[in-house]
Structure formats: C-alpha cells, structure tokens
Amino acid sequence: MSRLSRYSHTVRLAMSLPALLLSTLAPLATAADAVTSPPVAAKSAWQETRHGTVVTDDYRWLQKKTDPAVIDYLNAENAYTAAVTAPIQPLADKLFGEIKGRMQEVDLSVPVRMGNFYYYTRTEAGKQYPINCRRPLGTNGAYDAQAAEEILLDQNQLAEGHTFFSVRAFAVSPNEQLLAYTTDTTGFRQYELHIKDLNTGKLLSDTMPRVTSLAWAANNATLMLVQEDATTKRSDRLFRLDLGGAPQQVYHEAIEQFSISINRTQDKQFFVLRAGSTDTSDVRLLSTATPDGQFQLVLPREKGHRYSVEHRDGQLYILTNKDAKNFRIVSAPLSTPQPKHWRPLVPHDKDAVIKSLDVFQDYLVVMEKARALNRARIYDFKSKQWKTVKFDDPVYLANAAGTPEFNATHYRMSYQSPITPPTVIDVNMKDGQRTVLKQQEIVGGYDASHYATERLWVKARDGVQVPLWIVYKKGVKRDGSAPLLLYSYGSYGISTEASFAISRISLLERGVIYAQAHIRGGTDMGEAWHEDGMLMKKKNTFNDFIDSADYLVREKWTSPNRLIIQGGSAGGLLMGAVVNLRPELFHAVHAAVPFVDVMNTMMDASLPLTTGEYLEWGDPNQKAAYDYMLSYSPYDNLARKAYPAMLVTTGLNDSQVMYWEPAKYVAKLRAYKTDSNPLLLKTNMGAGHGGASGRYDAIKENAFNMAWMLSQWEIKE
C-alpha cells in the first residue's frame, strides 16, 4: 500500500529495494540465527520532503504487505519471540488453565424480548464461538425455558475453515422470518452481508461486501445498507437493497472527515441516517414504511454542532451540544425541528455529560457520566417525574444493556466493578425497583471480600485533578515493593472504565496491584476532558499518565522497578510517547497494536481512517499541526538511550493500526536502544486489531501477555 499523500512532492530510493532486502535479510535465513539473536531489519533510504524538510524512513519497505521479505521478517520476529519466551510458556499454560477454569464454559446470556421471541446466545464447552438462538414467548409474554429452541446462527459452524471469524450486524426482519447478518473472516473488519431465511434455513442470493451498518424496512423485503470504501474504510455510501434486486445508491457522503451510519428509531417508524465527524454531525429521516422515498434533513450541518434524534408520537427528542458542551435534550415537533421550536427537557450540566438517550412509549432514559462514573436517569412522560439509578460503590461501571421493545416497562442495565462480576439488572421504570437477573459465575468460587478497590485523585502538573482507580488483594504491602500494572487509553473521547476481568484475578492473587488512569482525551470528566487531550493539547494525555505513575510511586503503591504499563491502539501511542519521555519511570511495557508511526500514517490520506481523524489529531499538511504531532510521534522520537523491557503485539490483518507501525517501531528501536532489556514483537498472522476471535484463542493470547509481564516482575509461578 502506498504511503505517499497528494501533498508529498519528493520521493527517492537510494538503491533497488529487492537487492537491498536480499543482502540485509540474509541473517534471517535460519531458525537457529533467529533463536540466538534478534532479527536485524533491512534499511532502505526512503525519503520524502515535508514542509521543506527531507524526512528519511529506513524501514519503509516493511509497509509492503505483499512482499515475501516482509512476511519473512515478521516470521523471524515471531520465531525469536517464541525462543526467548520458551521458559515462560509453562506459566502461560498455567494461566490459561486458571482463566479457563474460572470461566463458565456452558453458559446462556439473559434472554431479550423482541416481538414474539426471546433472543439469546449460548456457549458450549470446547467451542470457540457463541450460538445465536431464540424461543417463542411463553404465557403472558414471559420467557419459557421449555419452549422449543430455534438456532439462528451457529457461529462455530460458520467459522469452520477460518482462523478468524466475527459477526457484526445481526438484524431480524419485522415479520421475524429473515435474518440479515455480516461476517468477517480475516480480522480486517470488512464485513460481508448474508440474509438467511429462518423458515428454510437457506441463505438468499443477496449479498454485499464491506457493509458497516444496516436496517430493515417495514415491508420485510428492503434493507438499507451502509458500505465502506474499499481502500480508506470510510463508511460513505448508503444503498437500498430490494431483496432479489441490485443495490441502489441512495446517498454519498463526499466530505472525507465524515462517516455515515444507518439505524432505526426506537419505535421503528423511521430510518435514521447519521453523518458525523469528530466535532460535527447531521441526521436525515425516512419512514420505514416508504423505503423508496427521500430522506429528509432534520437540522442542517453546522460546524461544531453534534446531535442525534429519537421519535415518539410525532415528537423528536434531540440530544444536542448546541450551547451545551456536555449536551442537553430538547423536544420539537417532527414537522418543525428547528431550534426556535425547541422545548427544553434535560438542561445542560457542566459536571455531567450525557452519553446516550433511549425513548420508549411511556419513558425516556438518559445515561450520564459525572466524575468518571455512570448513572441512569428515567423520565416518566405521564407523571413528568425523574428517577436516578446510581450505585454506591466508589468505583464501578454501569451501562445500558439493550432494551429493544418500544413499549418496555423495564430498562435493562449491566453493572460491574473491579471486584464485582458483571451483573444484568432490570430496572422498573415506574418505581425504580431493581431486579438482578444474572451475575457472571466464577467457577470454583470467588469472594469479593478478599479484594479492595479505591478511587484516587492525582494532581497533574497543571493543577488538574485526574481520577485513578486501583484494585488489589487485601494485605498487599504499601511500601513500594508491590508489582503494579498501570493501564490507560486517553483518545477519541473514549472513557477508561472500571470493569471486572476474570483474567485479572490471576494477577491479583500473585500480589499485583492493577490501576487505570482516567487521563485527558476521554470523556471521563465531560466533553472538555476530551478537548483538553486532543489536537494541540494532546500532550496533556501523556503528562497525565506520567503524573499518575509518579503519584503511584510517590505514595508507595509501587516503585519504578516494579511498575509495568500497558495500552493498546491509541493507548499504544500513549505507551510509545511516555517511554520516550520518561523511560526510567517504567520497568516494562506491553504495547498492543500500537499507533506509533503517527506521521507516516497521518500524512497518507489513502490509508484507512486517516482523513477522518484530522479533527482528533490534527492535519499534518498544516505546518503548526505537523510540528506539534512530530514532537510526540513515538517512531520519530526514538533516541539512543536505555528503554524499558517491551513486548509489542500486533495482527497482520489489522485495519485500524497497520501491522507495519509496530513492526517498524520495533526495528528502529532495536537499532537505537542502548540497553540489554528484552524487546519482542509478536504478530498474529491470522487476525486483526482485536486479536484472536475465538474465546479460547483469545485467552491464550492474554495468558501469554500476562506471563511475560509476571516474568518481568520475576514472578515465576
């Protein structure tokens, strides 16, 4: 894939690349060489002029996925990693057994009512993937476990012959006789449409590649489909597919910073076509009863205005950030949605950001986040009264868990904390009463009282208070000797959440303290928290993380020689940036699918996601943004100095962060670093951004990463 953007104007190769690779990759020829020493990547004198400065990238050749020499290099790195980590494989196997042993292998999700059926997934022992099922309603609409089960999709059968398998869209037609779903078999997140006749079990001939979202029309014979561009992976075209016919393009989003999606309002009356960029959006509606009609714009696109809509009884409920940084909710007639007709329903709150809005026949539910904690607020249209659903724990994660029925009287939520397994709860929207439907079972027993979790607040260098949470087994010494794993993300407005993880028990039982920092770049503390960690304020993200690490050391939760850090994707950028800034602060690093080659990626508009992210990172074709991004880009700021031990993991078919970013980063770091600490690159040659798709394969990957970190703490059992 070419990395040249339309703004580049000078490219040179110093010598023939094939000849260069043949000469330099000779040391990779035998497995023995790979075992005794790390691979030494070839160097090619690729150059490009950017803003009047000549930029050299010695490892540009690694970006050519189709070159056999690239695959040889990745395989050599994998062979070296396997050889170096052979002594920890027994520990990885032990961890795999522990995690698998705590998992309920035969399980059933909490059934969800949609129409005349209850839908659920179940898992079977030894099988990698879930099975999608449904049962007809029982007496008075209750769930009847004895009713005949209908298997809609056995994902294990569909995955046969594939090293990777994933289902994305899953939508049953209004008459409950057809199932539209999409699958990916490479990990590149390009999903193909399939339509199954649930009466016969046969697939229809209708299909379409690269579908990112879909919605059924009321006639049971028409689908609205969004397709992404084959190269840039931007969701930019909407099609109408009448079953048995050819897809007809309905809309094209021409502006590169915008992507589109299609869904339906909660009452199923309207298609919702939403176009959005980082800071701007607009919505178009079309009745699901007339799929061949024209979409109508709700509010015109206005720079900086983000909004979404729901519908009930001829009224639109608009979630908007107009004159409300953390969003507010207004209502307006469907026929006249302009601001002059708005009626306020939920005012702006500077201390709480509205994350989502659900509208039902009798109720409205708002999910909010305040001080890095979620809460639900329920509005009764009849009584015009509000109820708040919140939890008393110092740290927790509460989310909407899907309530598809428009006439629902109970709101489905999920709750968990670092010491509380995921719990499914139904909240009675009339009186607020909660019913626990299921809590994840930890096989072999689990006693939450053995562990403690705390909320901490870190004063960053600019005086801002940054929230942090930790979890540990009671009795751990707080004298600086404890091993501690610090994780964070800090980008795209994505919050760091206080979740539960079965695998984490294995760390806690070995005396490891686990911590997460709610650094700027997410919306943990509101929309301003995101804005203060993006564009020309991105370095706040890195500073917050470093200040959090310094705090944990200062307060004797750990010490630099016991501190390991972890982050993935944009969190991998965080890892690369902070080890360049403060390598002595960290003992070891796990960087997963890391976005570390910022400049080469963001200078190439043909790459997936690039142009759409100018509003998050900056447009490097502008000199000021280029200079700022260059000043923190991990790949560009590697220096001749000592670095912590590092494990870098990636997937060959990653479409979000191309495999070559971590590959180039490791190759360059190996040439620059002055220490003898381990530097390992592990590439899953059959997966993408999310790693292995099967549940057992995913546990194996996680167990290996954990074993490597434990070995860095010299914990051997």
Q: Give 312's strand partners.
A: 315
DSSP secondary-structure letter at 713?
T
Q: How far is CA 251 from the centre of its chain?
A: 27
Whether 236 is catalytic is no
Q: Which residues contact 332 (CB under 8 A, 6 or more apart)?
A: 315, 316, 318, 338, 341, 342, 343
Kindly report the number of other CB atoms within 10 A of residue 514's CB atom.
20
- Using CA atoms, how far apart are residues 416 and 202, in angstroms rounded to an integer? 40
How many Å separate Cα 73 from the centre of its chain?
A: 28
Measured distance CA(403)–CA(506) in Å, rounded: 34
Tokens of 568: 């993935």
Residue-by-residue DSSP string for 448-508 = GGGEEEEEEEEE-TTS-EEEEEEEEETT---SS-S-EEEE----TBPPP-----HHHHHHH
**Residues 39, 17: contact at Cβ < 8 Å?**
no
Residues 6 or more apart in contact with residue 672 via CB below 8 angstroms: 638, 639, 640, 641
Residue 109 annotated as catalytic: no
Q: Which runs of E-coded beta strand occur in 608-666? A: 645-651
Catalytic residue from among 206, 426, 689, 693: 689
Q: How many CB atoms lie under 10 A from the CB of residue 56?
A: 13
Token digits of residue 176: 């409950």
Task: Give the number of other CB atoms < 10 A from CB of residue 627.
Answer: 12
CA distance 56 to 58: 6
Nearest in space to 516 (alpha carbons), one of 565, 560, 582, 477: 565
Cα separations in angstroms, 492 against 521, 523, 541 = 6, 9, 11
- Residues in the chain, overall count: 717
The single residue of 503, 654, 693, 711 carrying the catalytic annotation is 654
Helix (H, G, I), strand (E, B) or coil at 291: coil
Cβ neighbours of 518 (radius 10 Å)? 28
* 450 labelled catalytic: no
Q: Which residue has the tokens 């930019």?
A: 236
**Residue pointed to by tokens 């007496």:** 139
Q: Which residues have C-beta within 8 Å of that of residue 476, sequence separation ≥ 6?
A: 482, 511, 513
HSE, CB side, 13 Å, CA atoms: give it for residue 596.
Answer: 32
Inter-CA distances, 572 with 9, 522, 636, Å: 30, 15, 15
Strand partners, 53: 50
Look up tokens 């930029």; give the residue. Answer: 55
CA 108 to CA 147: how far, in whole Å?
A: 15
> Residues with Cβ < 8 Å from 416, sequence gap 6 or more?
396, 397, 422, 423, 498, 499, 500
Cα(483)–Cα(696) distance, integer angstroms: 27
Single out the catalytic residue among 44, 331, 569, 655. Answer: 569
Rounded Cα–Cα distance for residues 657 and 107 (Å): 33
> Do residues 451 and 469 lie in contact, with contact meaning Cβ atoms separated by under 8 Å?
no
Phi, psi of 546 (to 5 degrees): -60, -40
* Residues taking part in catalysis: 569, 654, 689
